[in-house]
Copies of this chain bind each other. A is one copy, B any other.
Amino acid sequence: MLIYKNEFTVPYYESDVTGNIKLPSLFNIALQLSGEQGAILNRSDQWTKAHYNYTWIVVEYEVDIQRLPVFNETMTIETFAKTYNKFFCYRDFIFYAENGDELLKISSTWVLIDVDTRKVAHVEDEIVAPYQSEKIKRIIRGHRFRELKLEPTCERNYFVRFNDIDQNGHVNNSKYLDWMIDMLDFDFLSTHVPQKIYLKYAKEVLYGVSVKSRAEVVGEQSFHEILTDDLNAQAEIIWRKNDDL
């Protein structure tokens, strides 16, 4: 298992009104790092597309947060491809503070899809071999999401914007979280931080549609759905009061 590390300093525009890093930025930065590791190991997105016509898609995230990184903080992020089976690759990202304390950990589940058919492909050994991750037989069971009730606490429609689309030709996976947390109001978001995030992608969103974001807030837990004609994504977030305020 090869570990790849890099440092990252939180810029002004990736931090929110409280000075904490924006939640979608966590995923952006993480994916940037796994892209860097792929490039170093000659398994860039370009390589995977050229050799197999496949592209990587994250289908699930689980995040454990001790403390969110803040504006101007320099952290070290470590990532490694842990294990894989016929269809899924499991990769962790661990964010460390300068003193070595763990800030947060993202566990992620990836699949390869065919660029043209958009169907899930087998994980070929040749594609993942350089990462030296362990091949396993079992499929790791993800979080079980509960459905929202009929009357959500909040719902709103969002047009997909040009800048929501990435080079994969679909809405970038960090944007879903933007639509989700926008269901919570300013008072809640400026006084709470997440301690646990479960996020699952069911179906990609393309340009030209309007998505519906719905959420139900129960105490310090929020349940989220992103919908078009289908269910596109689900999330559950466990929040806590922001002690630093």
DSSP class of A's interface residues: helix, strand, loop or mixed? mixed
| Cβ B178 vs Cβ A163 within 8 A | yes
Quick one: closest B residue to A16, CB to CB? B163
Question: Is A159 on the interface with B (CB-CB < 8 A)?
Answer: yes
Number of interface residues of A (CB under 8 A): 35
Q: Interface 1/0s, chain A 176-211, versus B by CB < 8 A?
A: 001001101010011000000000000000011000
Q: Which B residues touch A12, using CB under 8 A?
A: 28, 31-32, 35, 166-167
Contact of A163 among B71, B162, B181 (CB under 8 A): B181
Q: Interface 1/0s, chain A 126-162, versus B by CB < 8 A?
A: 0000000000000000000000000000001001011
Q: Which residues of A contact B (CB under 8 A)?
A: 11-13, 15-17, 19, 22-24, 28, 31-32, 35, 71, 156, 159, 161-163, 165-167, 169, 172, 174, 178, 181-182, 184, 186, 189-190, 207-208
Given known pairs A15-B167, A71-B167, the reply for A161 and B174 (CB within 8 Å) is no
